[in-house]
Amino acid sequence: MPYNKFNPREFILRDWLALDRTVLANERTFLAYTRTSLTLVLAGLTFIRFFGPDIWSTIGYISLISGTTLWVTGVKRYLHILGHYRAMIIAENKALNDNKGSAVTP
């Protein structure tokens, strides 16, 4: 992971806010994938249903397959980035707990 070179014990508020922005950007990107794929699927179904078995239905089937493929790609990307974020949070919590245990108490 590219985040391993950073020390989680040195996170400040700005870093946590950047992580939150990353999560929100990931969700927005997933919603954009979903919106676009839903539009392609609906356009494909419309072409298939309302236009005859000519070139328009072929375009409809291509649009239907493209929309489904795009949505699957969006889900994979969303879960991939979410996995990176969760791994980073787990590493951060572990580092914080290790830091508390090694602190010298008077």
Residue 29, pLDDT > 80, answer yes
Q: Please give the structure tokens belonging to residue 83.
A: 């996995």
For 67, counting Cβ atoms within 10 Å of its Cβ (0-12 exposed, 13-18 middle, 19+ buried), the class is buried
Say if residues 78 and 29 touch (Cβ distance below 8 Å): yes
The rounded distance, in Å, linking the Cα atoms of 44 and 56 is 9
Residue 103, pLDDT > 60, answer no
35 vs 13, which has greater pLDDT? 35
The rounded distance, in Å, linking the Cα atoms of 81 and 40 is 24
The rounded distance, in Å, linking the Cα atoms of 99 and 56 is 64
Task: For residue range 48-84, list pLDDT tens digits in order.
Answer: 988 878 888 899 999 999 999 999 999 999 999 888 8
At residue 9, the pLDDT reads: 63
The rounded distance, in Å, linking the Cα atoms of 91 and 36 is 35
Residue 100, pLDDT > 70, answer no
pTM of the entire structure?
0.70
